[in-house]
Structures are given as structure tokens and as C-alpha cells.
Structure 1
Amino acid sequence: MPNKLVMIIRHAEKPIPGGPDLGVTEQGESDPASLTVRGWQRAGGLCRFFYEPPLPLGRPASIVASGVIKRDDSGTRSKRPSQTITPLARRLGLEPDVTHSKGQEQSAADAVRTAQTPVLVSWQHESIPALTAALVGGTGIAPQSWPDDDFDSIWVLEADEANVWSFSRERQALLDGDDTGQLTSGAASGQQRNGSF
């Protein structure tokens, strides 16, 4: 088992401006800052998926999710990152750390680094590369963007005892339309030493 295992997901599906799918709360009330029905389906699927995950993943011992208040003043106060992991956190009996938000990737990375491993992170996709870079100490290990239409990927970061980080990407393949193709480390793989871990 690695010295540190971090699994990063994007929050589940959100409303598209002008689209037919509306955001809804867990109680079914309309809320544009919440997940869509499909997003709640994914959240439920993640509950089962991460309870007994396939290798190289692990059952989360801690969860970090972007908080509602965005510190970079961008966009709405999205509840989606925390909603995405709420069913799983309940099932595992974990209290997610939601004290950091978009715009606070460095402090979130510090929290992830000290959290009990394996760690599951749910974040806004456009800031996941910055979070990853803050965690491993540089930008050379993982992709520099997360596709807008990708709700299915899991970025897997592993640190060995020498603090050398490696990257791979896995798929959830939970819902109809998810990509079920196999991913390998391939061109997106890398290793990086982080002396601060």
C-alpha cells in the first residue's frame, strides 16, 4: 500500500444554463446550486463504488470536499462538491472536511496531506489541476485541465515512502453514458518528489 493514496473526483452533474435539467436539493426542491437528478444518481453510485472500490483505489478513511463559499469569488455558492460525497460519508460514518473552497487549493492540499489515507477529494473540475499541483509540489505530474463534460474520471495520486508521487486515472463507469474504456497511466502518468510531505 502506498504511503499516501489520494483519489480526486469532480463533483457530480450540475445544471447547464438554459438546459432542461434543474438542480435539486436532497429533498427534491429546486436549487440551481445543487446537483441535477443525474448528479444525485451518481452520488448514490459513488456510495456503493467507494465502499468496496477496485484496485488501485481504496475505501476512503477521510473525505475532503470544496466548501460552499468560494474564496475566489467565482460563480455561485455551489453545494455540489459536498452533495456528491454526502451519501458515501454517511455510509462510512465520516465527517467530511469542507473548511476549504475553490480558491484555497493550497490550504486544501495541506489538509489532504495530513488527512488519514486513503483520502477522497470532491472538487470543482477547473481547480483540480491547481489542487493536484499544490499537493504534489508542481505541475509536471498530472494533466493541466479537466474536460468540462467529464464527470466520470478519478485522478489517483500515490506517494511512496520517499515522497515520490505517481499519477494515474481511473473511471467510475457508474451511469449510462459514462466512458467504460480502460485507462492506463500512459502519457498522463508521472512522478514527482515532494519534500514537504
Structure 2
Amino acid sequence: MGPHRILLIRHAEKPSAVFGSGVDADGHTDEASLAVRGWQRAGALAQRFSAPEDEHEGRLRPSTVYAAGAGKGNGSKRSMQTVAPLVAVLRACAQVRYETTYGKDDGAALMADVLMQTGVVLIAWEHKVLPSLVAHLPGAPNVPCAWPDDRFDVIWVFDRTAPGWSFVQQPQLLLAGDSASTIV
């Protein structure tokens, strides 16, 4: 049957001139990790996605979470770090499948696995790859062709419909400075 909802998010803020150095979970400088603001977003996302189903437009609590794994040619830990607080919360109160075996360029295999799941699926990935993942959905809707480099604050929501999938964007509005606009 497959999932009834798929949520796509970009990993949280990365090291930059604006957000400063990356730090690992122990606070050590690590450019393959999130910036401090990214860790703040990761914590806020944990609350957003673990909220009871009647809050935040409902049905955002995932039963399966995917994050791009760090591997050969890609040492980034940011996707995994973005969802780590959420996975910890979900594991404390319910069962959740957490998958990090796919690399950022394994889109076809990732989406084949996603389509075998049930319930709500959350995918945290590298922004340059996110639009191409949608093409693997049967009856895929049109989405923006690129995810902007400066946007960490949007959720792409895909709901199963009779002919394929519907698509809406939800601004996260979790941290100061988050935009209420969608990606065009």
C-alpha cells in the first residue's frame, strides 16, 4: 500500500559565514556537522514532528525517518544530526524505523524503500537532491526545480491521492528569522 504522507525537509543550518562553525553533539568544532543554529532547529523540529496528531496541522509524526548517511565521498553528518533529537523522542514513546544506509545520491533506492513503508515517512536530505527525489513518486506532482541555498525552514508535504500525490509547502516558523513564504 505504501505511505499515506511523505514529508521532505532539508538538513538544518550548516557552517557558514552567517551561522559560524559546525559543532558535533559534544560541542567540538566539526565542519561536517550542524552549526549551532542548526542544532537549535533540530531540537525545534523534534517537538514539531513528535507533537500529538491534532497539533500543527496533524499527521506530522513519522513512523519512519530517513536521513542521508555519511559515507564515501560525503562525510556530512548534518541530515542525521537534524533528525537525531526527533528519533530519540519517538523511540522513547513509540516505535520508529530510522534509516541512514542511503547516501545522498542513492535517490532511486531510497524512494523505492520509502514507497514500501506505511503511515507517515519523513526524509531529511541534502537540499540540492530533494527536488529529484520527488520524480521517483508515481504520479509525482510538480515541485520547485531547486531548493534555495538559504532556506532551511520549509517542509514539503506529499499526500497520497487517487491519481498520485498532492503537494503543499509548510513554512516551519520555528526560529527567529524563519520565512513565512514558500519556495518558488
Q: TM range, normalised to the smaller chain?
A: 0.7 to 0.9
Match for 1:40: what amino acid?
A: W
Report % sequence identity: 39
CA distance in 1, matches of 2:179, 2:18: 22
CA distance in 1, matches of 2:8, 2:102: 15
Q: Is the 8 A contact 1:65 1:121 kept in 2?
A: yes
Tell me what 1:77 maps to. 75
Give the superposition deviation at 1:55. Answer: 1.6
CA distance in 2, matches of 1:163, 1:67: 32
SS in 1 for 2:115: helix
Give the superposition deviation at 1:132. Answer: 1.2
- Deviation track 1:153-196 (CA, whole Å, cap 9, x = no partner) reads 10111112x35211110011111100135x5xxx97xxxxxxxx
CA distance in 1, matches of 2:98, 2:85: 11
Change (3 A) 1:150 1:57: farther
Tell me what 1:44 maps to. 43
CA distance in 1, matches of 2:156, 2:117: 17
CA distance in 2, matches of 1:54, 1:107: 30
Tell me what 1:171 maps to. 171
CA distance in 2, matches of 1:10, 1:68: 15
Tell me what 2:9 maps to. 9
SS in 1 for 2:101: coil
Give the superposition deviation at 1:58. Answer: 2.0
- Deviation track 1:66-95 (CA, whole Å, cap 9, x = no partner) reads 11115xx4xx41000010000000100134
Tell me what 2:108 maps to. 106
- Deviation track 1:12-47 (CA, whole Å, cap 9, x = no partner) reads 00012x666010011101100000000000000001
Tell me what 1:192 maps to. none
**RMSD, aligned α-carbons:** 2.2
Tell me what 1:194 maps to. none
CA distance in 1, matches of 2:77, 2:14: 10
How many aligned residue pairs are there?
Answer: 176
TM-score (norm. length: structure 1): 0.82
Match for 2:82: what amino acid?
A: T
* Contiguous gaps of at least 5 residues in structure 1: 189-197
Change (3 A) 1:95 1:4: closer
Q: Is the 8 A contact 1:57 1:156 kept in 2?
A: no
SS in 1 for 2:170: strand
* Runs of 4+ with deviation above 3 angstroms: none
* Contiguous gaps of at least 5 residues in structure 2: none
Give the superposition deviation at 1:135. Answer: 2.6
